[in-house]
Amino acid sequence: MNDLNTGREQWGSRLGFILAAMGSAVGLGNIWRFAYVAGESGGGTFLLLYILCIIAIGIPILMAEFTIGRRAKSDVVGSFETLAPGTPWFVTGFLGVASAFIILSFYGVVAGWAFHYFIQYVLGGPAIGGEGGSESYFIEFHTSTYSPLIWQSIFMILTIGIVYVGVKKGIEKSNKILMPLLAILVILLAGYSLTLGGAQEALSFLFSPDWSSLRDPNVYLAALGQAFFSLSLGMGALITYGSYLSSKDKLPGAAVSVVTLDTLFAILAGLMIFPAVFAFGNAPNSGPGLVFITLPDIFNSLSLGVVFGTLFFFLLSAAAISSGVSLLEVAVAYFMRKFSWSRKKAAIIIGGIIFLIGIPSSLGYGALNHVTLIGDRDILDSMDFIASNIFLPLGGLLIALFVGVGWNKAEAIEASDFGNTWIGHAWILILRTIAPVAILIIFLSSIGLF
Nearer to ligand LEU, 31 or 194 (CB): 31
Which of 28-36, 203-211, 270-278, 439-447 is the region at the interface with ligand LEU (rule: CB under 6 A)?
28-36
Nearer to ligand LEU, 322 or 428 (CB): 322
Bridge partners of residue 9, in order along the sequence: 2
Q: Return the residue of 134, 230, 310, 361 that touches ligand LEU, per CB under 6 A.
A: 230
Residues 373, 375, 379, 382: is their CA dihedral positive or negative?
negative
Question: Of residues 275-334, which lie at the interface with ligand LEU (CB under 6 A)?
Answer: 323, 326-327
Q: H helices of 280-372, where?
A: 290-300, 305-339, 343-363
Task: Give the distance, in angstroms, between the CA of residue 215 and the centroid of all CA atoms in the same chain.
Answer: 27
Q: Is 30 in the site for ligand LEU (CB under 6 A)?
A: yes
Q: What is the DSSP string of 296-309?
A: HHHHHTSTTHHHHH
Integer Cα distance of 26 and 20 in angstroms:
10
Nearer to ligand LEU, 327 or 415 (CB): 327
Q: Return the residue of 103, 167, 179, 291 that touches ligand LEU, per CB under 6 A.
A: 103
Integer Cα distance of 406 and 91 in angstroms:
13
Integer Cα distance of 290 and 351 in angstroms:
28
- Whose CA is closest to 152, among 315, 387, 320, 329? 320
Nearer to ligand LEU, 77 or 318 (CB): 318
CB 90 within 8 A of CB 81: yes
CB of 319 to ligand LEU, least distance (A): 7
Q: Return the residue of 36, 50, 229, 292 that touches ligand LEU, per CB under 6 A.
A: 229
Contacts with ligand LEU by CB under 6 A: the residue count is 14
CB of 262 to ligand LEU, least distance (A): 7
Nearer to ligand LEU, 230 or 240 (CB): 230
Integer Cα distance of 53 and 225 in angstroms:
9
Q: Return the residue of 19, 20, 21, 28 that touches ligand LEU, per CB under 6 A.
A: 28
CB of 388 to ligand LEU, least distance (A): 8
Residue ranges that bind ligand LEU, judged by CB under 6 A: 24-25, 27-30, 103, 229-230, 232, 237, 323, 326-327
